[in-house]
Amino acid sequence: MIYFQMLLSFLQIGLFSFGGGYASLPLINEQIIKAHGWLTMSEFTDVLTISQMTPGPIAINAATFVGMRIAGIPGALTATLGCVIPSTVVAIALAKIYYKYREMSVMKGVMNGLRPAVVAMIASAGLSIMVQALWADGIVSFAADKIDFIAVAVFIASLLVLRIFKPNQIAVMAAAGVLGGAAYLIMDMI
């Protein structure tokens, strides 16, 4: 039964994830955390981190990791297939339709209409992850004991370095991990 539930959940995620990996994050969050309770928000954030560090699309990596966590290798295969099948079928169908009707004004209107929705979904996912990372309970509060000041400092420093110096993002992620890890170790010793 768990395999069937995973297959259906990731079929839905794969079918309705317009805009790529980041746009699928709210859908994955809804299915994995809220609907089925397979992971906590903290575990989900860890899955996203691992998905970012491994090659391949975020949604597929997340499906594989969630499936592995819930039901081992068969679960990983089931979740991954559930995520891949709808997008493959839809991509082939849309490619045929697009190439046949790409010069029609209706097609251009549909493509222009989808862009704001995709941007909104990506922004929603980014804000959810930021809230989870920067506030202790994952709930925005300006009480000093609820804000993770180390995470805020690392976030601001990383953002400034990326905007001003435009270095390799992987190097900034690695440096942020080392800096954050060292800061937390020092705080634990104090």
* Per-residue model confidence (pLDDT) at position 166: 92
68-114 per-position pLDDT tens digit: 989 999 999 999 999 889 878 977 998 898 888 888 888 888 888 88
Instruction: Tell whether the model's pLDDT for residue 126 goes beyond 70.
Output: yes
Boundaries of every domain in the chain: 2-133, 148-190
- At 150, give phi and psi (nearest 5°): -65, -45
Q: Residue 88 contacts by C-beta under 8 Å, 6 or more apart in sequence?
A: none
Residue 14's pLDDT band (boundaries 50, 70, 90)?
confident
Burial letters 109-148, b for 16+ CB under 10 A, else e: eeeeeeeeeeeebbeebeebbeebebbeeeeeeeeeeeee
Instruction: Tell whether the model's pLDDT for residue 188 goes beyond 80.
Output: yes
Instruction: Tell whether the model's pLDDT for residue 160 goes beyond 80.
Output: yes
Nearest 10 degrees: CA dihedral of 179, 182, 183, 185?
160
